[in-house]
Structure formats: C-alpha cells, structure tokens
Chain A
C-alpha cells in the first residue's frame, strides 16, 4: 500500500461474498496468483450476517480490470461484484495517528485536528493520538500536515465505499430524515 494518493486509474470493486472461513484468503490468493495489485482492501459482514462485503481498490488498465472481475466471479463464494465509479460513489476511510507533540506544537496540532474535525483519542506527555474519518483525499491532506510534526505511528483502514444515491433517492432520503 502506498500513501501516494494521486491514482487516476483506481477502481473500486465492491464484492459481496458468502461469509465463510477462507473467503478472504481465496480472494487474496487469486490476486497474488494472477499478478493483480491490491491498493487497499477492507472487509466486514454486511447487514445480512451470511454475507460479507469486500471493498477492493485496484490500480489497473481497463482490460485487466475486466479479467479481474471475471476471475473473481469464478470464485464460488463470490455472489456479486459491483464496480464503483469513484465519481458516483461515496468513499470513506479511517485514519489513526500518534504524533509527536512537545510543548509549543501541541496547540498547532490540535488546531489542525479541529480544522479537519479529527478527534483527539489520547494525550501523552510528548504525543497525541488522533483519529479522522472521511474521504480518502481528506485523509491524505491531514496526513501530509501531520508529517511535519513527526508521525510516531500511523494506521489507515483502507477505504470502503457505497454507490451514491441518485438525486431522487437522495432527496427522498433527506426528506425521510427530516420528517
């Protein structure tokens, strides 16, 4: 995984699988065997506990993506694959970072955290642990700014994504929420 966030050719695959032992290993070994690169991967059960959703971000050219999808679909436990167009989907990722923060810098770091609406999870004598949830490029910017203060440890979850609702559904959802 790289933290370089300029990836114009990235594709998000949302893969619905049967929630069974070894499915993730099957998906991962398929990528390894056929020489495909995983940029990031996140997996968790869905609303139906019989199924999990694996969100895989891959960096590829068009023809290879078609092969990846077809090969993935050959796995017996893969139920559905949707390719999410980054422009038509909402992506989220979680970042946690412990940053060096002696004396004078602590205020600056907290200020950055506030601007980004990050949370301070823990405060130590010389360090702060922060968390930020948001769109991946927002996390990139946050990470970049923290780097100047000295990152002790940093962990990102890899992104998860869902398709954006179309306008009609979106409006209805907002209305539903308001009433």
Chain B
C-alpha cells in the first residue's frame, strides 16, 4: 500500500498509541497536519511552541506515557529547545517531531531553515534527521523505544517537507527489526545479583540508614516496593524535589525533602547517616551541598539505571545499575532471605529517636502575618492544600513558590507533583499543568506560579480556554523575582538589582479574564479560603487567583550554594535550638 510520508508519520504515531499531540503547524510541517484531520489523535493547538514542549512534559509526568510535541522548522524548533533540555535534565519521556526544509534545500539557508539536529543534539537523549519516507516508521518506533526505555528522555525526529510529501510503502518494523537497528542500545535493567546481596547485607548492618529517593523511583514505578523496604526495616526516607510523592509525606518515616531548601531533619539525617540507600537519585548539587562535606560517615548504595550516574559525584560502595523497581524487588527479597536465615537487623531505634527529635524540633515554619500586614505565601499554599480535592495534581514553576509548594504541600500519592527540577525552567507551570490536565482529566490540577514565571508563559491559558482544559492557577504574587531577591538580601548585602517587577501592572484579574479564565484577586488572609473554594467549584473554565503576598518572605531552611549541609540556615525562630541538630 502506497501512502505519503505524512500519512505514515500519523499512522506510526497511532501505532505507538499516541492519543494527543501538543503542536503548532507551519510551513515545513504542513503536510503532516492534513492526515491529522482524519486521525483519532487529538491535537492541542498551543500558543507558543515552548508551551507544546512543557505540555508534553506535564502529560508524561502524570501518565508515565511519552508526551508528543509537533512543530515546524526554524523558529518553532528553536522554541522547543528549552522544553527538550528540561525533559532531558529531568528524564522525561518525550518525542518531538519537527518539520525541516525539503532535502534539496538543506544547507542553503532556506526560509525557516535551522540545524535542528545540531542545535538539539546536546539536549536530547537521541535525535535524527529522516531523509526518506521509507525510513519514517522505523524512526518513529526507535524514537518511542529510546524515549521510554533505560533512563527515559526526549527524542527528536526532524522531517524534511518533501519526505512528508513523498510516497512510501507502509511497513511497521517488528521488535526484532528495532533491536537490530540499534546495536549499541541495550539498557541494563536487572541488577547484579552479587551487588544486590551486598546491598541487603549493608542495609541490615546499618545503624543509621536513610533511603534517599530520587525521580528514578517514580520513573520506574517503584514506589510500592520501596515503601515495603522502608516499612519492613523502619528506615527513614527522604524524597528529593523530583521524587515528592514517591513516599507519602504523612508517613511517620518520611522526613520530607532534602537539599538546599529541604527540611532540617532530612538534611541532617543524611549528614549523620552511616548508609545512604540512593534509589534513582543522582547526588545533585542542590542535594549534596558541598560534596566533600556531604554525608561524610555514610556508605553508599547507589541504584541507578544510568551507569554514568554511578560515581559521577560520589563513589558508591555498592553500585547497582538497573531498573529501580526490579532492583528494589530483588533487594527486598535478599533482605527477607537474610532475615529468614536468622540474620538480625542492627538496632536502629536510637537513630529513629534521634531523627524524630529533629523532626519535632525543626518543623517547617514561618511567621504568620501580623494583622493588617501582607499575606504570607506559605499560608496561601496551606489553604490550597487543605481544600484540595483528593488526588489533586500540583504543578509549579521555578523559584521561591516552587520551594514553598514542595515544602508545604502534603504529597501522599506518586505522580501528583510536576515541576522543573534539573533545568529550573521559569514559566514551566502553566503549560505543564495544562499537559497534566490533558493526561489526567479526572483530576484537579493546581498550578502554583510566581508572578515572574507567570509572565513568561501565561498565554497558554488561552489554549486552556479554547481547548477546554480547565486548570487552576495560584500566583504567589510578590511583584518581585523572589528567589533572586532573597539571594541579594542574604549574599549581596541587600543590594537589590533588577528584581522588582513593578507592582501595579499587569492586572492579573483582567489578564485572566481576557484569556477566558475567571480572575480573582486576594489581598488579605480572610479572602484566601473563600477564593480557593470558589476556584475549586469552577470546573468549566480555568481560574487564576492573584495572591498579593509579602515581598520580603524568604524560603527556609536554606543551605547556601557551595556550603556544607552542616551549615544549614534555619528559620530565625529555630536558631536558638541549633545545637539539637548534633
């Protein structure tokens, strides 16, 4: 059967069970938009290609399925670079399709030509230019295979316009053909049995163990088995920014988030630990602080599917390359075997009580606002949290609001938290929330945003309105680039440089309404709960709440960049208890 390359592309996407494409048409990708008319695939027309990329990420975050973005050549492809890099840093499975100028025009500086494959080479797990329509089905199969296996990541396929127009004979490659076409790609999923035994032994011997969960736990869908390990041996758990929800915050063993703005208990437990069981975490600088001073007394078990993460930052005592779920199942089995064989776990009760002491002494805290004074952002978050319907998905941008969201929300289920961790992409929130809502239309999706972030990508709320994707946005509006302001206050002697966004404009309520949303402005604490209640009751359109919050509020605790985690800066109210962190 002869079909066009464009028809083959759409058919291949259907074969890969794609149900939605986030995209934006244009000259070179035009042929692909025609067969889309009769396809079962839903297309969501975004307002900026960056939005398409972040939506695909949000969709992938909450569904576990690869998000798909399709845009044209040149400026559209360059607009996709940020989300690709974001997805690469956070290991998000994503497939991007870009149009390219016809093969005959490549290299001539044609209209809307750019070297998409060259530009995106270092921000994708893999990419490629398809030079013949006959190669399209295999290229698409490879893309989905690579994006979703091993360490997930974004894959870009660049398709010249004439390749989409030419006819080809349809052939859907078999699994064997895909394997044979990728002789250098064999992700290791099963851990080494000897290393697994060694890990089980170390875990039972440890007197001060900590389970250090990273995003890989979620990617591998390993939350349940990890919880079994934690509960079997009563091991305290920290969940990194990428792993929030991988272990329930309400669980007594959960210490919350570690790192630069982590809880004092999580940060200190890692510092004092004698064994870090790192599962799908990568010893990011935001977690370790000064590497040389990080968890100095701890042995390391490092489970990661990417061999390059082993020893990249910290040399593990027991490196295990493999899928987090498969390896965790094997470790649990090995532990049970040892216990059944009469081995005993070391006494970790003293450790548990030390850790609980830190939790009691150093809870997250902020000063409530004085009567008549400005709203506290943390208070707004607590109110949204307390009124959130069960299973609500929380999405954030990047900055202070992101840290408060991660700190003050109570994540009790996996896949309810979507944020930009590695790249730290301001403007992530609104489009990612739209993508999340498309992936999980049954759930309430709240986007927490800063006013700086919101101004970067707010136009996607038009997409939400037109395509009927109702989300809720809470802007923690302090008229400032809050995190930068905090650093300037703390590390640049209050010399504020270019952080004021100019209080009066824009009018977020008018802006929201202009985009087809309901806009609500909140100035005082009494208005917070009713506004959230109203937002939660509106389900036929998106809602934007402009929370006018305190400008000078800072995120605590904090480990200054490059400092040791031992030098954690506590909220001022807890400073006098500092010695309890010993």
Flag whether B129 is at the interface (Cβ < 8 A): yes
Flag whether B232 is at the interface (Cβ < 8 A): no
Q: Which residue of B lies closest to A80 (CB)?
A: B184
Q: B126: which of A30, A76, A79, A80 is its contact (CB, 8 Å)?
A: A76
**Distance, CA A77 to CA B128, complexed state (A):** 11
Q: Are B184 and A75 touching (Cβ within 8 A)?
A: yes
Q: B118: which of A17, A25, A63, A80 is its contact (CB, 8 Å)?
A: A25
Q: Are B307 and A73 touching (Cβ within 8 A)?
A: yes
Q: Mark B100-139, 1 if CB is under 8 A from A, else 0.
A: 0000000000000000011001100110110000000000
Given A25-B118, A26-B121, A33-B122, also A18-B184 (CB < 8 A):
yes
Q: Are A67 and B308 touching (Cβ within 8 A)?
A: yes
Task: Select the residue from B121, B129, B184 with max chain A CB neighbours within 10 A.
Answer: B184
Interface size class of A (residues with CB under 8 A): 20 to 34
Given A25-B118, A26-B121, A76-B146, also A18-B308 (CB < 8 A):
no
Flag whether A141 is at the interface (Cβ < 8 A): no
Q: Mark A49-77, 1 if CB is under 8 A from B, else 0.
A: 00000000000000100110011011111
Q: A71: which of B125, B308, B310 is its contact (CB, 8 Å)?
A: B308
Q: B182: which of A17, A76, A80 is its contact (CB, 8 Å)?
A: A76
Question: Which residues of A sit under 8 angstroms from B184, Cβ to Cβ?
Answer: 17-18, 73, 75-80
Flag whether B312 is at the interface (Cβ < 8 A): yes
Q: A79: which of B122, B128, B129, B183 is its contact (CB, 8 Å)?
A: B183
Q: B311: which of A63, A75, A77 is its contact (CB, 8 Å)?
A: A63
Flag whether A29 is at the interface (Cβ < 8 A): yes
Q: Which residue of B lies closest to A50 (CB)?
A: B183
Q: Mark A1-28, 1 if CB is under 8 A from B, else 0.
A: 0000000000000000110011001100
Q: Are A74 and B122 touching (Cβ within 8 A)?
A: no
Min C-beta distance of B205 to chain A, whole Å: 27
Q: Which residue of B lies closest to A74 (CB)?
A: B308
Q: Are A70 and B308 touching (Cβ within 8 A)?
A: yes
Q: Are A22 and B311 touching (Cβ within 8 A)?
A: no
Question: Which residues of B sit under 8 angstroms from A74, Cβ to Cβ?
Answer: 306, 308
**Distance, CA A73 to CA B150, complexed state (A):** 13
**Distance, CA A56 to CA B121, complexed state (A):** 20
Question: Which residues of B sit under 8 angstroms from A18, Cβ to Cβ?
Answer: 183-184
Q: Are B182 and A29 touching (Cβ within 8 A)?
A: no
Min C-beta distance of B304 to chain A, whole Å: 11
Question: Which residues of A sit under 8 angstroms from B128, Cβ to Cβ?
Answer: 22
Q: Are B117 and A22 touching (Cβ within 8 A)?
A: yes
Min C-beta distance of B226 to chain A, whole Å: 25
Min C-beta distance of A36 to chain B, whole Å: 13
**Distance, CA A17 to CA B125, complexed state (A):** 16
Within 8 A of A (CB), among B160-187: 182-185
Within 8 A of A (CB), among B246-286: none
Question: Which residues of A sit under 8 angstroms from B118, Cβ to Cβ?
Answer: 25
Q: Are B182 and A21 touching (Cβ within 8 A)?
A: no
Q: Are B122 and A29 touching (Cβ within 8 A)?
A: yes
Within 8 A of A (CB), among B280-313: 306-308, 310-312
Min C-beta distance of A70 to chain B, whole Å: 4
Q: Which residue of A lies closest to B181 (CB)?
A: A18
Q: Which residue of B lies closest to A72 (CB)?
A: B308
Q: Mark A24-53, 1 if CB is under 8 A from B, else 0.
A: 011001100100000000000000000000
Task: Select the residue from A74, A77, A80 with max chain B CB neighbours within 10 A.
Answer: A74
Min C-beta distance of A22 to chain B, whole Å: 7
Question: Which residues of B sit under 8 angstroms from A29, Cβ to Cβ?
Answer: 121-122
Min C-beta distance of B135 to chain A, whole Å: 11
Q: Are A76 and B311 touching (Cβ within 8 A)?
A: no
Q: Which residue of A lies closest to B185 (CB)?
A: A76
Question: Which residues of A sit under 8 angstroms from B312, Cβ to Cβ?
Answer: 67
**Distance, CA A49 to CA B308, complexed state (A):** 29
Min C-beta distance of A76 to chain B, whole Å: 5
Q: Which residue of A lies closest to B121 (CB)?
A: A29
Given A25-B121, A26-B121, A79-B184, also A66-B311 (CB < 8 A):
yes
Within 8 A of A (CB), among B165-224: 182-185
Q: Mark A65-100, 1 if CB is under 8 A from B, else 0.
A: 011001101111111100000000000000000000
**Distance, CA A22 to CA B183, complexed state (A):** 17
Question: Which residues of B sit under 8 angstroms from A26, Cβ to Cβ?
Answer: 121
**Distance, CA A18 to CA B128, complexed state (A):** 13
**Distance, CA A78 to CA B359, complexed state (A):** 48
**Distance, CA A70 to CA B311, complexed state (A):** 10
**Distance, CA A70 to CA B151, complexed state (A):** 14
Task: Select the residue from A21, A29, A76 with max chain B CB neighbours within 10 A.
Answer: A76
Q: Which residue of B lies closest to A16 (CB)?
A: B184
**Distance, CA A80 to CA B183, complexed state (A):** 9
**Distance, CA A102 to CA B36, complexed state (A):** 74
**Distance, CA A174 to CA B434, complexed state (A):** 70
Task: Select the residue from B117, B122, B183, B311 with max chain A CB neighbours within 10 A.
Answer: B183
Question: Which residues of B sit under 8 angstroms from A79, Cβ to Cβ?
Answer: 183-184
Q: Mark B384-416, 1 if CB is under 8 A from A, else 0.
A: 000000000000000000000000000000000
**Distance, CA A33 to CA B88, complexed state (A):** 14
Min C-beta distance of A151 to chain B, whole Å: 35
**Distance, CA A29 to CA B122, complexed state (A):** 7
**Distance, CA A73 to CA B128, complexed state (A):** 18
**Distance, CA A107 to CA B312, complexed state (A):** 56
Min C-beta distance of B80 to chain A, whole Å: 18
Q: Mark B229-247, 1 if CB is under 8 A from A, else 0.
A: 0000000000000000000
A selection of 7 A-B contacts at a CB cut-off of 8 Å is A22-B128, A26-B121, A70-B307, A71-B308, A76-B125, A79-B184, A80-B184
Q: Footprint of A on B, CB under 8 Å?
A: 117-118, 121-122, 125-126, 128-129, 146, 182-185, 306-308, 310-312
Q: Footprint of B on A, CB under 8 Å?
A: 17-18, 21-22, 25-26, 29-30, 33, 63, 66-67, 70-71, 73-80
Told that A67-B308, A76-B185, A78-B184 touch, could you supply 5 new A-B pairs with CB distance under 8 A? A33-B122, A74-B306, A75-B184, A76-B182, A80-B184
Q: Would you list the 6 A-B pairs with minimal beta carbon distance, nearest first?
A: A70-B308, A79-B184, A76-B126, A78-B184, A33-B122, A79-B183
